[in-house]
Amino acid sequence: MGYMTGGIYHLGDPPSSDQGGTFERAKSTMRHWITPDGAAGPTGDAGFTPDHDRYHLYVAWNCPWAHRALLGRVHYGLTDTIGVSYARPNRTDQGWVYDADGPFSDPLRGVRAVHEVYSADPSKYTGRLTVPVLWDKQKGRIVSNESADILPMLGAFDSDADDLYPAHLADDIKTWNDLIYRTVNNGVYRAGFASTQEAYADAATTLFETLDKIDAHLATHRYLCGDTMTEADVRLFPTLARFDVAYHYAFKCNLRKISDYANLWPYARALYQRDGWAETVNFDIYKRGYFSPSEKRNPLGIIPIGPTVDWSEVPVFVGR
């Protein structure tokens, strides 16, 4: 898929140590913050203020980490403030790529691959080429390539939307975020990319233990943290949206489907039906991406015709 050292793009994967068959996700390293007054955030440099039409997102439809940023853009009412470039559903040896025109092109700079965005940053980036990337048009540099940072920093813009990280729920949100990232968001990849039976069994078992826990919790709670939708719900949703059409089959996360759960399924549909959320979802592209040709997982690249899942059905919450 490619990587960069010192701002130079290289084909292939960077050297890595053996992890006993366990998939390890690369860490993001471009971590500046947009803040209300432009002061430095928890990491990185100062100087990034929440200005209209200053920033641009590079994403891919089928990337769940990029999906977080798209949900934040909708939640905080920034669809006219922050532009978006959507990569093609399938990566090539150039990584995430763009067409010359059309829905998978870059209307901002006309790049043909996301590594061109990284190359344009003056920091001479070293690492994997991931999305989302939040680009500062004014400074001509990357603000962040860490979705866990991009989502909350979008709240720095003047917005009437509810805060996704209210102080009185901070501990609860962090507890859910940590569990969901480790066992669900990244758990499906630990199962799908495992190279030993033991690593797969551990990841898949832990994944469904957490989904069962969430389902039981939602029997008496409207959202993960009670009656208020928070960042924890936003982080969970991208995995739920991809689960039945992709992870259940392509990643062998097949003990149950999300649509099998009494409480998790109506909760997922209720989130999908929030204003603007459905526009951040594309089930056909998810299938095209996750069932793309892969020597290990899908050598013939055959894309299944199903399943058909009705996300528009009005959710009925059992027991509350």
Cα–Cα dist 145/57, whole Å:
10
3-state secondary structure of 292: coil
Cα–Cα dist 313/259, whole Å:
12
Of the listed 3, 58, 63, 261, which one is catalytic?
63
Cα–Cα dist 269/219, whole Å:
15
User: 63 an active-site residue?
Assistant: yes
Cα–Cα dist 276/280, whole Å:
7
User: 272 an active-site residue?
Assistant: no
Of the listed 58, 86, 125, 189, which one is catalytic?
189
Cα–Cα dist 40/47, whole Å:
7
Q: What is the CA angle 115-289-53, rounded to 5?
A: 50
Asked if the bond preceding 166 is cis, omega within 30° of 0, the reply is no
Cα–Cα dist 230/225, whole Å:
7
CA proximity to 114, closest of 87, 92, 140, 144: 87
Q: Which amino acid is at 220?
A: T
Q: Which residues are catalytic?
A: 63, 189
